[in-house]
Structure 1
C-alpha cells in the first residue's frame, strides 16, 4: 500500500455520478475502494455537481449502495450555490428557485426566502438540476433575470450520467435560459474551484486527490484549484477527449475506474510508458510496441499534450477511435 496512489495523498475527493455510481447502479469495486481509503486513514469526501439532492439524501443513496457516509463528507453544488447567494444578498432576500425542494431548503437554511414565482421583490435566481423542472419554471426565471436578478447556476453539466445512459443535465437547462436572456450566470459548482477547496479544507487536507470522470468539470475544477487528479473512464470521458484535452482539463493520472486507487501511482501517471513508443510523423500519432491498452493511452496523451498533435495513426485508431 505504501506505493499505491491512495498513499500519496491525504484526502480523496470523489465525484459521484459516473465515478462512484450510475444512478442506482454502483460502479463495481467502489464500496471496497472507499472502504480501503477509510481503513488506510485517508479522509474521503463526496463532491457532486448534482444539486437535486440534499447531503442527507446523498448519504442515504451511498449507504444503500454499500458506502456508508456522513453528511459532513458530502459537498454539493447546491451548497456552493447558496453560499454564493448568501455572500451577495441581505438576510431574508427573495430567491427564485429553479430546482428541487432540497435546493429550496438550502436557500431557506441560509436565511434567505425561497419562492417559485417572479415578483417585484425577487433579488436572485438559483438554478439546479431537477427532473421536474418545467418550461413554466424557466419562464419565471427568465422574467426575473431579465429584470436584473442575480443568476446563480449550481452547475453547467450538459449531461447527467444514469444507468440508462447520458441524460440532459442542468447545463442544458442553463443554456436555454442563457439563450432567452443573453445573460451569463454565476457558476457555483465544478469547474469553479470552490467545491474542491471547501471539501479539502473540511478534511484538513494539504495534498488531496480528485477522482472524476468529466474533463470539463471534475478535472478542470481540480486544475483550477491546483489539485492533482485521477480521470476515470467509467463515466463521460472518452479516449478521444483525453488526447485532445486542453491544458486546463488535463489530469495527472488515468485509470479505467476508481479501483485504481490501490494500484501503484507510477503505473497510473500520464506520461511515457514502458513497452510503448509514441512519435509524431506527418502530423499523426504513431504507436509502436506492445502492452496494456491504458498504458498506450497514457503515452498517447503525453505526446499529444507535448506536441499538439492529436490525430491517431492506424495502430492507435484501431484501439481508441
Structure 2
C-alpha cells in the first residue's frame, strides 16, 4: 500500500455523480476503496456539484450504498452558493430560491430569508438543481435578475449522470436564464476552487487529491485550486475529450474508475508508457506497441498535450474502441 496513489496524498476529495455512484447504483468497488482509504488513515471528503440534497441526505445515500460518512465529510455546491450569498448580503435579506427545499434550508441557516416569488425587496437569486424546477420558477428568477438581483448559480453542469444515462443538469436551466436575461451568474461550485479549498481545509490537508469524472468541473476545479487530480472513465469523460483537453482541464492521473486509488502511483500517471510509442507524423497521433489500452490513452494524452496534435490515426482510434 505504501506505493499506492492514495498513500501519496493526505486527503482524497471524491466527486459523487459518475465517480462514486450513478444515481442509485454504486460504482463497483467504490465502498471497498473508500474503506481502504479510511483504513490507511487518509481522510476522505465527498465534494458534489449537486445542490438538490442536504449533507445529511447525501450521508444517508452513501450509507445505503455501503459507504458510511459524516455530514462534516460532505461539501455541496448549495453550501458554497449560500456562502457566497452570506458574504455579499445583509442578514435577513430576501433570496429567491430556484431549487429544492434543502437549498432553501441552507439559505435560512445562513441567516437569510428564502422566498419563492419575485416580491419587492428580493436582493438575490440562488439557483440549484431540482427535478421539480418549473418554467414558473424560472420566470420568477428572470424577473428578479432583470430587476438587478444578485444571481448565484450553485453549479453549471449541463448534464447530470444517472443510472439511465445523462439527464439535464442545473447548467441547462442556468443557460435558459442566461439567454432570457443577458446576465452571467456568479458560480459557486466546481470549476470554481471554493468547494475543493473548503473540503481540503476541513480535512487539514496540505496535499489532497481530487477524484472526478468531468473535465470541465472536477478536473478544472482541481487545476484552479492547484490540486493534483485523477480522472476516471466511469462517468462523463471520454478518451476523445481527454486527448483534446485544454490545459485548464488536464488531470495528473487517469484510470477506469476510483478503485485505481489502491494501485501504484506511477502506473496511473499521464505520460509516456512502457510498451507504447506515439508519433505525430502527418499531423495525426499514431501509436505502435502493445499493452493495456489505458496505458495507450495515457501516452496519447501526453503527446497530444505536448504537441497540440489531437487527431487520431485510425489504428490508434480502433485500439481505444473508437474513443
Q: State the TM bucket, normalised to the shorter chain.
A: over 0.9
- Once the 2 structures are TM-superposed, how far is the Cα of residue 319 of structure 1 from its aligned partner? 2.6
1:256 positional shift: 0.1
Q: Distance in 1 between matches of 2:189 and 2:143?
A: 24
Distance 1:281 1:151 in 2: 49
Deviations 1:3-23 (CA, angstroms, capped at 9, x unpaired): 000100000000000000000
**TM-superposed deviation, 1:51:** 0.1
- 1:198 & 1:107 partners in 2: Cα distance? 18
Moved runs in structure 1, 4+ residues, more than 2 A?
none
Q: After superposition, what is the alpha-carbon deviation per residue over 1:138-187, rounded to whole angstroms, capped at 9, x for unaligned?
A: 00000000000000000000000000000000000000000000000000
Give a deviation string over 1:13-41, Cα, whole Å, max 9, x none: 00000000000000000000000000000
The aligned residue for residue 237 of structure 2 is 237
Instruction: Show CA shifts across 1:199-228 (max 9, x none).
Output: 000000000000000000000000000000
Aligned position for 1:8: 8
Shift in Å, 1:119: 1.3
Aligned to 1:198, the other structure's residue is in SS state helix
Any idea what SS the aligned residue of 1:211 has?
strand
- 1:47 Cα deviation from its structure 2 partner: 0.0
Mapped to 2, the partners of 1:261 and 1:150 lie a distance apart of: 41
SS at match of 1:97: strand
Q: In 1, distance between residues paired with 2:81 and 2:316? A: 42
Equivalent in the alignment of 2:44: 44
**How far off its partner does 1:263 sit?**
0.2
Q: Alignment partner of 1:189: what SS?
A: coil
Whether 1:130 and 2:130 are equivalent positions in the alignment is yes
Q: CA RMSD for the aligned pairs?
A: 0.4
Per-residue deviation, residues 58-88 of structure 1 (Å, max 9, x unmatched):
0000000000000000000000000000000
Question: Secondary structure of the equivalent of 1:62?
Answer: helix
Provide the C-alpha distance between the structure 1 equivalents of 2:155 and 2:169, rounded to a whole number of angstroms. 9
Instruction: Give CA-to-partner distance per residue, 1:243-265, whole Å, 9 cap, x none.
Output: 00000000000000000000000
CA shift for structure 1 position 314: 1.9
Deviation at 1:98, TM superposition (A): 0.1
Counterpart-to-counterpart distance in 2, 1:184 and 1:283: 38
2:266 aligns with 266
Task: Give how far 1:315 is off.
Answer: 1.8
Structure 2 residue aligned with 1:256: 256
Whole-angstrom CA distance in 1 between matches of 2:283 and 2:104 = 52
Say which SS state the counterpart of residue 279 (structure 2) adopts.
strand
SS in 2 for 1:174: helix
Deviation at 1:120, TM superposition (A): 1.4
Q: What is the match of residue 89 of structure 1? A: 89
Structure 2 distance, partners of 1:181, 1:15, is 31
Mapping 1:1-321, distance limit 5 Å: 1-320=1-320, 321=323
Gaps of 5+ in 1: none
Give the drift of 1:316. 1.1
Q: How many residue pairs align between the two structures?
A: 321
Structure 2 CA distance for aligned equivalents of residues 119 and 110 of structure 1: 20
